[in-house]
C-alpha cells in the first residue's frame, strides 16, 4: 500500500489508490500545522468557541445576522 510521510509535521498518510493518496497529500500540504501541537487553521475551529471571528461584521447593514 502506497504511503507518504509529511516532512513538515511527520503525519503518515496511506491509501491503496495512489492517485487518491496524492490528492490527500496535496490537501494536507495546504492545511499542515508544520509541527505537532501548533495551532489549527481556521478550518479546524474549536466547536466550543461559537463566537464570530469578526464581531464587527456579524450582522449586515440592516442589523440582521449574516450567519444563522
Q: What confidence category does residue 64 fall into, taking pLDDT thresholds of 50, 70 and 90?
A: confident
Which DSSP symbol is given to 7? T
**pLDDT above 90 covers what percent of the chain?**
22
Q: What is the pTM of this model?
A: 0.49
The pLDDT confidence band at residue 20, using thresholds 50, 70 and 90, is very high
Condensed to tens digits (0 to 9), the pLDDT of residues 22-55 reads 999 999 888 787 766 565 555 555 667 666 666 6
Sign of CA dihedral 14, 15, 19, 21: negative
Biggest distance spanned by C-alpha atoms of the chain = 56
**Helix, coil or strand: residue 65:** strand
Amino acid at each position: 500500500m502506497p504511503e507518504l510521510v509529511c516532512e513538515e509535521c511527520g503525519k503518515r498518510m496511506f491509501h491503496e489508490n495512489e492517485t487518491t493518496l496524492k490528492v490527500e497529500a496535496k490537501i494536507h500540504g495546504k492545511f499542515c500545522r508544520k509541527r505537532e501541537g501548533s495551532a489549527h487553521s481556521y478550518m479546524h475551529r474549536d466547536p466550543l468557541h461559537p463566537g464570530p471571528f469578526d464581531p464587527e461584521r456579524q450582522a449586515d447593514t440592516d442589523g440582521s445576522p449574516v450567519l444563522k
